[in-house]
Amino acid sequence: MKNLLLLLLLCSIGMQCTSSQEDTLAKPTAQKILPKQKNEFRPNIIWLVAEDLSPVIPSFGDSTIQTPNLSRLAAEGICYDNFYSPSPVCAPSRAAISTSMYPTHIAANHMRTGPWFATDMPEDMLRRFDHLMPKGVNLYEALPAAGVRMFSEYLREAGYYCTNNSKQDYQFRCSLTAWDETSNDAHWKNRQAGQPFFSIFNFNVTHESQIWRRAKDSLWVDENLEVPVPPYLPDTEVGQQDVRRMYSNIKMMDHQVGEMLKELEAQNLLDSTIIFWYTDHGGPLPRQKRLLYDSGLKVPMIIRFPDKRAAGTRDDQMISFIDLGPTVLSLTGLTPAQVDGKAFLGPHKVPDRKVIYAAADRFDAQYDCNRAVRDKRYKYIKYYQPEKSMYLPVKYREQMAIMQELLRLEKAGKLTPEQALWFRTSKPQEELFDTQTDPHELNNLAEDPKYANKLKELRAKCEAWVNSFDDTGIIPETELVEKLRPNGEELKVAAPTIRMDKGKVALSCPTEAATIGYQVASPKHTPTNWTIYTKPFELKKGDTLKVVGDRIGYRYSEIVMKTP
């Protein structure tokens, strides 16, 4: 208990740090792992991640439905009111979460760069996914700088059992050494006794696709429930029904969260586990997902600590998805690597952000290029292709009845002024919104001289961010792919080397910053996951050793050695 209180005290001290310094970007460097102290408390950490959901639950001010399990988490934890994705769509968001890097910094910004499940897929099957890529652009993976890893690798090296159940939509093939388990069955229960764990559980029921796929299912809410319809959406019977379905799906997700809490309680893990609940970007409805308005970027987050520290409180610091990884490492006693993200809790907490940044580029085959910066009140959006219409058709989204209703009204000339804003045939070069007085971001203040200073300030911050690294959305994607893969050649990790060192096996890899993983199989045991190599180890007679070198954006290399 003393160790737990010490850790929580460090976290509390970290939360109180403030500074006026601007955010900076650092080159990635290798992770430093603190030595484990005797009897050191290492908390379990679990992420409960809903999909496609804005802050439309009671804990964040929307009382349309009741969510008893999320309300319990909020009552026992901390609600974060300024939490943002750097992208309004899932795959770039997960790239940011898993690497702690901005998607535009690692060529993960276009939706999609290629299905993660396309690795080793036959050519005839790949053609089924042609609609995800524009003509002339081949599949490719995000490519971070050397030293950028999936942050779960650091936890595994420190002894954590890491599981992902089971989204792998990262814009790159999942590192072989990132997880002990990644599947629909992945679970902390498979760890060794006493081993700390980091586990992710994803809840798909709130995904945009579930609006139309569950359209004929019974509702978890009253079929005549009065629902708030945002002014940019049609307040018709069709529109209300899809909004009602969204709230019904939230109720289902809340129930699933409750089942996870029951499981933690049944295993006496609540008193040793930090629980994060958040969503992967903004809401599922039209003009939410895929746009840089708060409806696409702003999400709710609740964190519950084992001793219910700061229970029932709110935190308004500006937080980006890229900060999640460094924060988990900080809370577990590890020193975060120097990446774009920064810890917002724990002993390694750094000064609060003053602004957050976001980007939206290609969605499936539709190109655009938009950047945004937001402080606690004002949002600035820069449109690099103002000649394009605000609305870009996405076939996937057009399966939704409320989207079809919008298109019907637009064709009939019956859109309200608020709805018509999305269907403008061109865009302004800039938009500025006061999100406090205009939460739906409908009144552009960029031309209002009263806001000239704020416009100038946020414009400069946006330009500085874009110029702080090679923004991979600014150049044509064909040029980007050629830069990443000259002459179409796939990058590949060099084959690892095996040598004996004082009777033990020592491994190395010539490729800079490659992670080395290994498996030792015996006649009685065949491992299913990869151990991350950190120091020489012994082999027994009859063992078979498999070694793999891996790095994000590269094809891994594998070698096998069998002992006599």
The CA-based angle 9-75-313, given to 5 degrees, is: 50
Question: In angstroms, rounded to a whole number, what is the distance separating the alpha carbons of residues 517 and 515?
Answer: 7
CA-wise closest residue to 91 among 77, 104, 108: 108
As a whole number of angstroms, the distance between CA 456 and CA 444 comes to: 15
Asked whether the domain spanning 497-562 has the same topology as the one spanning 2-10+43-101+151-351, the reply is no
Angle at the Cα of 453 from the Cα atoms of 451 and 459, rounded to 5 degrees? 100
Q: How far apart are CA 110 and CA 132, in angstroms?
A: 10
49-73 pLDDT, tens digit each = 999 999 999 999 999 999 999 999 9
Instruction: Spell out the residues 6+ positions from residue 205 whose beta carbon is closer than 8 angstroms to its own.
Output: 50, 249, 252, 253, 256
Neighbouring-strand partners of residue 499: 506
| Interval 525-554 mean pLDDT | 95
247 has a pLDDT exceeding 50: yes
- Hey, is 256 helix, strand or coil? helix
Q: Bridge partners of 447?
A: none
**Cα gap 349→326, rounded to integer Å:** 9
Q: What pLDDT band is residue 38 in, cutting at 50, 70 and 90?
A: very low
What tokens appear for 457 in the block? 């300030």
Residue of 120, 257, 107, 94 lying closest to 182 (CA atoms): 94
Q: Is the pLDDT of residue 127 over 70?
A: no
Helix axes 401-411, 237-266, angle to 10 degrees: 160
What CATH number is given for 2-10+43-101+151-351 in this structure?
A: 3.40.720.10
Note the pLDDT of residue 556.
95
Active site residue 79: no
Q: What is the chain's length?
A: 564
Per-residue pLDDT band at 126 (split at 50, 70, 90): low
Q: Residue 542: pLDDT above 70?
A: yes
Between CA 194 and CA 196 the distance in angstroms is 6
pLDDT at residue 129, rounded to an integer: 62
Q: How far apart are CA 392 and CA 292, in angstroms?
A: 14
Enumerate the H helices of 169-292 as residue ranges: 209-213, 237-266
Domain residue ranges of the chain, discontinuous segments joined by +: 2-10+43-101+151-351, 497-562
351 vs 26: CA distance, rounded Å:
15
Which of 107-116, 206-215, 410-419 is the least confident region? 107-116
Please determine, for residue 117, whether its predicted confidence score (pLDDT) is greater than 60: no
Q: 431: which strand partners?
A: 381
Q: Which of 390, 469, 378 is nearest to 429 (CA)?
A: 390
Q: What span, in angstroms and rounded, lies between the C-alpha atoms of 226 and 214?
A: 19
Hey, what are 556's tokens? 């891994």
The helix/strand/coil state of 436 is coil
- For residue 347, the model assigns a pLDDT of 96
Question: Which tokens go with 331?
Answer: 């809370």
- Contact of 545 with 562, CB cutoff 8 Å: yes
Q: What number does CATH give the domain 497-562?
A: 2.60.40.10
Where residue 507 falls (left for φ over 0; alpha for ψ -120 to 50; beta otherwise) is beta
- Cα 203 to Cα 51: distance, rounded to the nearest angstrom: 6
3-state secondary structure of 259: helix
Return mean pLDDT, the chain: 91
Question: pLDDT digits over 302-336, tens only?
Answer: 999 999 999 999 999 999 999 999 999 999 999 99
Mean pLDDT (whole number) for 288-308: 97
CA distance 88 to 53: 11
Q: Exactly one of 11, 17, 79, 90 is catalytic; name it.
A: 90
Res 23: pLDDT: 42
User: Which tens digits make up the pLDDT trace of 423-465?
Assistant: 999 999 999 999 999 999 999 999 999 999 999 999 999 999 9
H-assigned helices in 312-439 = 324-331, 401-411, 417-420
